[in-house]
Structure 1
Amino acid sequence: MPNCEASRKLIFKIAVPVPLDRLFDYLAPTGCHPAGLQPGIRILVPFGKRTQVGVLLAIEDSSAVDSERLKQAIEILDEKPLLSERDLRLLHWASRYYHHPLGEVLAAAFPVALRQGRPALLQRQRFFGLTPQGLQTLPEQLRRSIKQQALLALLQAAGSAIPSAALIEHKPALKALLEKGLVIEQESAPATRYVASTALPANPEQQVAIDAVVANLGRFAVSLLEGVTGSGKTEVYMQVIAKVLEQGKQVLVLLPEISLTPQLEQRFQQRFAVNMVSTHSKLTDKQRLQAWLSMQQGQAAIMLGTRSALFTPLKRPGLIILDEEHDASFKQQEGFRFSARDVAITRAKGLGIPVLLGSATPSLESMANGSQGRYQLLHLPNRAGNASAPSFQLLDIRNKRMQAGLSEPLLAEIQTTLAKNQQALIFLNRRGYAPVQICHGCGWVSRCRRCDANLVIHAAERLLRCHHCGSEQPLPKQCPACKTGELQALGLGTERIEQTLEALFPDKVIVRLDRDTTQRKGSLETYLEQIHEGRADIILGTQMLAKGHHFPAVTLVAILDIDSGLFSIDYHGSERLAQLIVQVAGRAGRADQPGKVILQTRHPQHPLLDTLLSQGYRAFAQTALDERCQAGLPPFSHQALLRVQAGKAEVPQQFLQAVCQMIVELNPGKVQVLGPVTAPMARRAGLFRFQLLLQSPQRKELHHLLDRLLPAIYALKESKKVRWSLDVDPLDLY
C-alpha cells in the first residue's frame, strides 16, 4: 500500500455498492497521505454497521458534510487503479443511461473476489504442453478414455502449452496424461502476440465480411454479420481475431450461454497460440479473478465470457465480438439492468475499436440500425461447405391422433430418420413432466401459493415445482380438495416426452438436455460428447439446443409446440418465436446429409409462419419492423419500465399513483405514460406486482424526464414500503 503520512483534511469521494444514487465522503485513513492516489483504486470503508469495498473517484479539499460527522476510511486496498480512466468513463455513462446507482454499477465491473476486498494479485500461471512421447502418440491409441483422447488431440492441435485455467474441465484427463508421461508442466507461457496457424479457406462471402471488418481495425465501427445457421460465422470471427492478435492487441468475445463457452474455447485453442481465458458463473471466484487480472494486466490475449465479462478491463483493446447478438440473455434482468450489446457498442466507441455483432436472426433493433446505415451490414446467405439449407414442413395437427404431443406423421418421420442411422432432434420449450396437475373429479389445479402460476410436475423427483419462485412440494397422491378425484397430468414437458419416446423407441438412446438434466457439473459436456460421437439417437431438449451447437448427424428437427408463441401478449413475442424457429431449425442438415424441419401447429395459415418459412427471416424482420413503426414501438420509440412490488396489493398502487402525480408536474407531455397496471404475472413469490411504462419517440426526452423523476422517487415516503426498479430499454414486459 502507498507510503502515507497523516492527513485528515482532504476528502475521499467514494462510490459504495449500495442502492443509493450518490457518492459518500470519507476522511483519509490514519497515517495515509493521498498524494499519488488515483481514481479507480478500491478502499475499505465503514458503512452503517458493516464495512464495504468502495471505489475512489475523486479527492477534494471540502465536503458538504461537517468534517466532525465524517467517518474515516479504513484501508486503501490497491496501489494502482484497477479501472482506467476509460473504464470509469464507461461506467459513469452506464450509470447515467440506465439510471442505476454508480456504486452498484462499479461493483458490476469487478469479479466477486475483488468486490470482497481480496488482493488483486495475478498468480503465476501453470502451463501444460506435450512431451516428445505425447507428440508422437495418436489420440486413438488411448482407447479406454475418450476424454484423454480429446485432451491429447487438443494439445496437439494447439501446438504450444495451454494454461491450466483453460483446462479446468479436463482435470481428470490431464492428471492421467501427466502420469503417462504424455504431458508435462512448462514454465513458459504462450505468447500474447498471435502465432500463425492454418486457417480454413474462406468462401467469397466470408472473405468479403473478413475484409470489411479488418478494414475497420484501429477505429470505431459496428459491423452486423447476418449469417444463416451453419454459414461459418465462427470462421469469420477467427480470421478477424488473427489480424487483431498479429497487432499484439486483445479480443473480448461475448457469448449468450455458458454451454457455448467450452466448445468455442476448444476451437480457439486449436487455432491460436496465445494465452486465452474464460469467465462465466460456473467457474470459481478465484478462477474468475485470475481471468480478469490476466486481461487487465495484458497477460492474456483473448477472453471468452458471458454477459458479466463485458466490463473486464483491457490493457491493449483491439476488438469486441458478440455472438448471437439477438439473444435475450445479453440483457441483465435483475439489479443493474444493462444490455451487454448496447454497452459493448458504447465501450468500443470510447476505446476507438470495432465491434462485431453476429447472428443468424439479428434483433429487430440491429436490423433497423443496419438498414439505416448505422451498422455495416454483412451477409452470409449460404451454408459453408457442402451443407444445404433444410427443408420445412408445417404439420397441421388439428384433429390428429397424438401421443404425448407427438403426431403419427412425426413419429413416422422419426422412425425413417433412425432407420438411416441419423439423429433426430425434438424441441419443446418447456421442461418438467407436465405444466400442471388437475383433478378429474373436482377440477382442482396445482397452483403455487406464492405466485399466479401453476406448479409444474417433476415426475422423476416426485415433486411439484414453481418455475418462477422455486418453491416445491411433494407430488400429492390424492386430490387435496375433494380427497377422492383422480389426479392427471395436463400438458407436456420434456420429461413426459422423454418417457413417451422411450416407450415408442425402446432400443434407441435418448438424450434429454434441459436445466434439470444438466445441473450437475460436467453433465452438459458429457451429453454433448455423447451426441457428437454418435452414441445418441434422439436428442430432446429446450432452448439450450437452439444456440450454436453443431450436430453433424442430425437430419431431422421437430418443433412440437409453436402455437403458444403465436399469441403472446408481449410485442416481442413474434420476434422471439421467429428467432427460435430459425435457430432450432439450423441444427438440421449441417453436414453432407440434407436436413428436414417439421413444425407441429394448429395454425398453419398464420401470417408469421407463412412469411418466415416462404421468404426467410429477413422478410419476416422487415414485416415486423413495419408493424412496429406503425404502432410507434421500439426501435421507433424508447421505453422505460418502472416495476413495483410489495406484500399488499394497495401499497404498490399508492406508490405508482404518487409517481404519476410527479410525472404530471415534470412531464411537458412529450413522454407517453402507460399505466399503472398490474404486471402480467400479478403475484410472484408472495409479492403483488404492478408496473408503469414510459414511452417516447425521442430518447433524449425520455431520459430528461427520468433525470428529474428518479431523485423525486428516492425521496418519496411511499418508496420505503415497496421494492421498485427501473428497466431502461426493457426486453421483457413481465
Structure 2
Amino acid sequence: MAFWPSVIVATPAHSGVGASLTYRSELLLAPGALVRVPLGSREVLGVVWDCPTQPPEGLTEAQTKAVASVLDGLPPLNGSWRQVVRFAAQYYQRSLGEVALAALPPQLRELGNDQLARRLKRRAKALASAAPAAEPDTTLARPGGHDLSAEQAEALQALATATAPVLLYGATGSGKTEVYLRATQQVLQAGAHTQVLVMVPEINLTPQLEARFRERFEPAFGAGSVVCLHSGMTPAQRLSSWLAAHTGSARIVLGTRMAVFASLPGLRLIVVDEEHDPSYKSQEGARYSARDLAVYRAKVESEALAAGAAALRSGPPQSPLPGGEGTGEGEGEKPRCHVLLGSATPSLESWHAADQGRYVRLAMPGRIGGGSLPRLRLVDMNHQPKGAVLAPPLVAAMGERIARGEQCLVLLNRRGYAPVLACHDCGWKSGCPHCSAYRVFHKLDRTLRCHHCGFTERVPRACPDCGNLDISPVGRGTEQIEEQLAGLLADVKRPDGSPARVARMDADSTRLKGSLEIQLAALHSGEVDVLVGTQMIAKGHDFRRITLVAGINADSALFASDYRAPERLFALLMQAAGRAGRDAAQSGAAEMWVQTWYPQHPLFATLKKHDYPAFAAEQLIEREQAGMPPYGFQALLRADARTQQVAQAFLNIAAEQAAGLPLRDQITLYPAVPLTIQRVANVERAQMLVESASRGALQRFLSAWQPVLHGCRSAPEARGLVRWAVDVDPLSI
C-alpha cells in the first residue's frame, strides 16, 4: 500500500513554490516526522505535515518522487510546534517551509540516517557518563542565598495562578532573575519531563545567565540539563543543544530569539527577559517577533495540555499527557504553559495589553536589600567649555569614584573612533562605494569600515580627491571616548596607588571567541575602573561595584523621525542607569549623568523620577492620537533591486493591482519611498507602508495580496528586481 505524504521543504516566500510538496512512501509517516526527499537535483531535509492514503486529485504516481529516507532515530515534531510554525508563516507572510526548516539546526539538514544514529549513540553515552551516581536531589531547599522579598513572593504566587500572559514590571535590581529561577524550579519539580524556555535579547547576556542557571540546577538535575541556543554557537553545538531539547534530556533551554522555535515536548514555562528589546524582532528572513510568538506558543501549549488532560479524564487510566507523565497538576487544576515577560521598561505594546486586561501586570518597584535607584544628573552642554566631549564636572566625579575604589560606566551607542573621516578643504567624506552610508573610522587598526556591507580599506595618507594631508575624524565613537578618558584620568589613582584603567566593550572588542567572558570577568574582579561601551553594556548585567553611569550624546534620538525613538531612548537610559548602585550599601551614592543640549525636554523629567508609567501614559496618548501601534497596525512591503527606479516601480505596480482586493477600503497604502539607507552592497532598497485600524483586515489583505505580488515580479518595469519581502509589525520605518 502506498501513502502520499505532504512534505514541507525550505522554500522562500517569493519563490512561488507551494506550501508543501507531495511524495510517495511505502510507510505511514507520522506528522512531524523528519525525512530526506529529492528536490530537483538535490536531496533535502523535510518535515512531514500530513500522510493521506490517497494522492491529491489529478496527481499520478508517475508525477511524484519517493521519500528517500526517514530520520527514524528522532521522535516527530509535535503538534504544538507545527501549529506555532504554521501561525508564524501565516501571520508574517512567509512560506511554511522557510519558517519550519529555518527553525531546525543547520547541521541536521545535512545528516543522513547513519550519521544521525552515530550522533545519537555518542550523545547517549555522554549522558550516561554524566549522570549522577545517586538519585538527584530536586528539593533545592532555599536556593540562591537569600529569602525572597515580599514583592518576589507575590509575583511567584500570581504567576502560578495566572491564566493570561504575565508582564513582570520590575525596577532594575529588583530581583527579576531570582523570580525566573524560582519559577523554573517550581516547574521542574512539578514533573519528571517538564521543560522551561528562557529567552534573552542578545548573545552577550547568555554567559552570565547561563552560569546562574547551571549553578542552581545542574547539581539537582544533572550535567546537560541546561543548554543554550543562539547563532554564536558552532553548527555542532547547536545540533547538540537542539537534540537535547527535542529528546527531553535538557530541562532548561537558554537562548536568543531563534530559541522560540526550539522543539520542547515538555514545555511548561516561557520566560522572555528584557521583553522590550528590539533584538527580539528578526530583521532578515522571516521577520518574526520572538516575544509575540512566545505569547502565542504558551497559548498553544496550554490548549494542548488542556486537551490532553481532558482526554486523560475521559479515557482509560493509562493514557499519558502530552510531554510525558507526572505533570504535577492537581485534580481540579487546568494544566498550563505560563509565559512571563520581564522588563524594567516594558514595550508600549505589552504595557497597553496589560492596561486592557489581556496581560496580568505584576509590579516589583523596590530594589533587593532596600537600595535606591540612581539619582539623575543632567549636564547642560550649553554651559560647558566649547568643544568639550566630556563635561569637566563629569570627569571630576568619575575621578572621585575611582579614588574610592568604585567603578564607572560610560554609554555611547556608536562603535569605532569616529562615524566619518573628512577633508575640510574639498568636502570629501569617507563614503562607502557600495552603500549610501559613510565608512566608520577605526583608529586601532587604521581602517575605514562600512558597518552595513563590511567593505574595509586602510585609511588613506591624504585626501583621495585633493591630496590634502589634513583629513580628520568627525563625530565620536567608543574608541575615541576610551582614548580621551584614558588621558583625562591619567593622574587619578586607585586606592592601592595604581593608575586608573579604562576599558571598552562593544561589537569590535568582543569579536573573538571568549573575549566577552574575559572582559566581564575583569570588570567583576575590579581590574577595570571605567568601562566604555555601546548598548550591549546597558542591559541585564549585574555589575556590583558600579556607582556612576554616564550617557554621552543622548540627544541624537530626541528628535528622530521614527515615532519609536523616544521609547527606545528612555528604555536605554533607564536600563543603563540600572547598572549603578546594585549593591545596596552603595546605592545611596549611585548617579546617572546625562550630557544633553536640551535639559528641559519632557523625556528627561520623567526619567529623573524613574517614572516609566507616566512616560508610557504620555506616549500612548500620542500614539492613539496618531493612530500608531498599538492603536493601529502596520506592515512594510520592501523591494530590493539593481536600481531605485525598478524597486519603486515594483511597489507602485503592486499598489495599483491591489485595487480590487478584499478589504482594500480599510487599508492605507502610502507612496513608495527609498529606505533611510537606500543602497547596501550595491542593491537599491525601497519600501511602502501599509496601514490599517484592524489587525484582521490587514492580515486578510496581505494574504490576498501575496499572489498579486508574485505576478508583479514578472512585469517589464520590475525587471532587475532582486527580492521583495513583507515585514509585519515593523519596528523601524
Determine if the TM-score, normalized by the shorter chain, exceeds 0.5.
Answer: yes
Contact 1:26 1:73 in 2 (8 A): no
- The alpha carbon displacement at 1:68 in A equals 3.0
Equivalent AA in structure 2 for residue 339 of structure 1:
S
Contact 2:415 2:507 in 1 (8 A): yes
- The alpha carbon displacement at 1:402 in A equals 5.8
1:15 aligns with 2:4: no
Contact 2:371 2:581 in 1 (8 A): yes
- The alpha carbon displacement at 1:79 in A equals 5.5
Equivalent AA in structure 1 for residue 190 of structure 2:
Q
- The alpha carbon displacement at 1:521 in A equals 0.8
Label 1:79 to 1:300 Cα distance change in 2 as closer, same or farther (>3 A).
Answer: closer
SS at match of 2:550: strand
Provide the residue aligned with 2:496 in structure 1.
none
Counting aligned pairs with the same residue, the percent is: 42
Provide the residue aligned with 1:566 in structure 2.
558
1:408 aligns with 2:392: yes
Higher relative contact order, structure no. (Cα contacts within 8 Å, ≥ 6 residues apart) = 2
Contact 2:202 2:256 in 1 (8 A): yes
Deviations 1:498-550 (A, max 9, x none): 11112222321111100100011111111111111111111110011011111
1:69 aligns with 2:12: no
Which of 692, 698, 705 is residue 694 of structure 2 equivalent to?
698
- The alpha carbon displacement at 1:85 in A equals 1.4
Alignment of 1:569-608 (within 5 A): 569-591=561-583, 592-593=585-586, 594-608=589-603
Counterpart CA distance in 2 for 1:189 and 1:598 is 54
- The alpha carbon displacement at 1:285 in A equals 1.8
Provide the residue aligned with 1:679 in structure 2.
675
Report the more deviating stretch, 268-277 or 78-87.
78-87
Which of 255, 258, 263 is residue 203 of structure 2 equivalent to?
258
Which of 657, 660, 670 is residue 652 of structure 2 equivalent to?
657
Provide the residue aligned with 2:726 in structure 1.
726
Counterpart CA distance in 2 for 1:193 and 1:223 is 30
SS at match of 1:392: strand
Contact 2:419 2:438 in 1 (8 A): yes
Report the more deviating stretch, 188-197 or 365-374.
188-197
Coordinate RMSD, CA, aligned: 2.1
Provide the residue aligned with 1:208 in structure 2.
154
Alignment of 1:195-344 (within 5 A): 195-199=139-143, 200-216=146-162, 220-248=163-191, 249-272=194-217, 273-274=220-221, 275-344=225-294
Provide the residue aligned with 2:72 in structure 1.
78
1:396 aligns with 2:380: yes
Counterpart CA distance in 2 for 1:24 and 1:221 is 34
Which of 423, 426, 434 is residue 418 of structure 2 equivalent to?
434
Label 1:332 to 1:194 Cα distance change in 2 as closer, same or farther (>3 A).
Answer: farther
Equivalent AA in structure 1 for residue 208 of structure 2:
Q
Label 1:123 to 1:265 Cα distance change in 2 as closer, same or farther (>3 A).
Answer: farther
Which of 509, 531, 537 is residue 529 of structure 2 equivalent to?
537
Label 1:261 to 1:192 Cα distance change in 2 as closer, same or farther (>3 A).
Answer: farther
Contact 2:152 2:364 in 1 (8 A): yes
Deviations 1:83-115 (A, max 9, x none): 111211111111111110000111122111222
Which of 323, 342, 346 is residue 358 of structure 1 equivalent to?
342
SS at match of 1:385: helix
Counterpart CA distance in 2 for 1:234 and 1:402 is 44
Any unmatched runs of 5+ in structure 1?
Answer: 1-6, 129-162, 165-184
1:557 aligns with 2:549: yes
Label 1:609 to 1:693 Cα distance change in 2 as closer, same or farther (>3 A).
Answer: same
Provide the residue aligned with 1:459 in structure 2.
443
Counterpart CA distance in 2 for 1:215 and 1:26 is 45
Contact 2:644 2:674 in 1 (8 A): no
SS at match of 1:294: helix
Provide the residue aligned with 2:138 in structure 1.
194
Counterpart CA distance in 1 for 2:515 and 2:529 is 18
Counterpart CA distance in 1 for 2:252 and 2:468 is 63
Label 1:495 to 1:615 Cα distance change in 2 as closer, same or farther (>3 A).
Answer: closer
Report the more deviating stretch, 678-687 or 449-458.
678-687
- The alpha carbon displacement at 1:234 in A equals 0.7
Counterpart CA distance in 1 for 2:556 and 2:10 is 41
- The alpha carbon displacement at 1:81 in A equals 4.3
Counterpart CA distance in 2 for 1:628 and 1:227 is 24
Counterpart CA distance in 2 for 1:673 and 1:350 is 33
Equivalent AA in structure 1 for residue 600 of structure 2:
Q
Label 1:195 to 1:279 Cα distance change in 2 as closer, same or farther (>3 A).
Answer: farther
Contact 1:231 1:382 in 2 (8 A): yes
SS at match of 1:398: helix
Provide the residue aligned with 1:172 in structure 2.
none
1:616 aligns with 2:611: yes
Counterpart CA distance in 1 for 2:21 and 2:428 is 58
Report the more deviating stretch, 718-727 or 205-214.
718-727
Label 1:511 to 1:402 Cα distance change in 2 as closer, same or farther (>3 A).
Answer: farther
Label 1:12 to 1:475 Cα distance change in 2 as closer, same or farther (>3 A).
Answer: same
Label 1:260 to 1:565 Cα distance change in 2 as closer, same or farther (>3 A).
Answer: same
Deviations 1:670-690 (A, max 9, x none): 011122111121222211111
Counterpart CA distance in 2 for 1:193 and 1:707 is 52
Counterpart CA distance in 1 for 2:175 and 2:348 is 22
1:489 aligns with 2:488: no
Equivalent AA in structure 1 for residue 159 of structure 2:
V
Report the more deviating stretch, 632-641 or 262-271.
262-271
Label 1:730 to 1:206 Cα distance change in 2 as closer, same or farther (>3 A).
Answer: same
Label 1:80 to 1:466 Cα distance change in 2 as closer, same or farther (>3 A).
Answer: closer
Counterpart CA distance in 1 for 2:711 and 2:110 is 30
Counterpart CA distance in 2 for 1:15 and 1:354 is 29
1:521 aligns with 2:464: no
Deviations 1:555-578 (A, max 9, x none): 111001101011111111111000
Equivalent AA in structure 2 for residue 87 of structure 1:
W
Contact 1:431 1:495 in 2 (8 A): yes
Counterpart CA distance in 1 for 2:300 and 2:125 is 34
Label 1:65 to 1:404 Cα distance change in 2 as closer, same or farther (>3 A).
Answer: farther
Counterpart CA distance in 2 for 1:59 and 1:126 is 31
Equivalent AA in structure 2 for residue 319 of structure 1:
L
Give the TM-score taking structure 1 as reference length: 0.87
Report the more deviating stretch, 424-433 or 607-616.
607-616
Counterpart CA distance in 2 for 1:569 and 1:473 is 32
Equivalent AA in structure 2 for residue 207 of structure 1:
A
- The alpha carbon displacement at 1:720 in A equals 6.7
Provide the residue aligned with 2:44 in structure 1.
52
SS at match of 2:660: helix
Equivalent AA in structure 2 for residue 418 of structure 1:
I
Counterpart CA distance in 2 for 1:360 and 1:493 is 27
Contact 1:192 1:301 in 2 (8 A): no
Aligned length: 665
- The alpha carbon displacement at 1:198 in A equals 2.2
Provide the residue aligned with 2:26 in structure 1.
33
Provide the residue aligned with 2:309 in structure 1.
none
Counterpart CA distance in 2 for 1:538 and 1:123 is 49
Equivalent AA in structure 2 for residue 588 of structure 1:
A
Report the more deviating stretch, 295-304 or 538-547.
295-304
Counterpart CA distance in 1 for 2:569 and 2:207 is 27
SS at match of 1:461: coil
- The alpha carbon displacement at 1:186 in A equals 4.8
- The alpha carbon displacement at 1:414 in A equals 1.1
- The alpha carbon displacement at 1:50 in A equals 2.5
Contact 2:8 2:21 in 1 (8 A): no
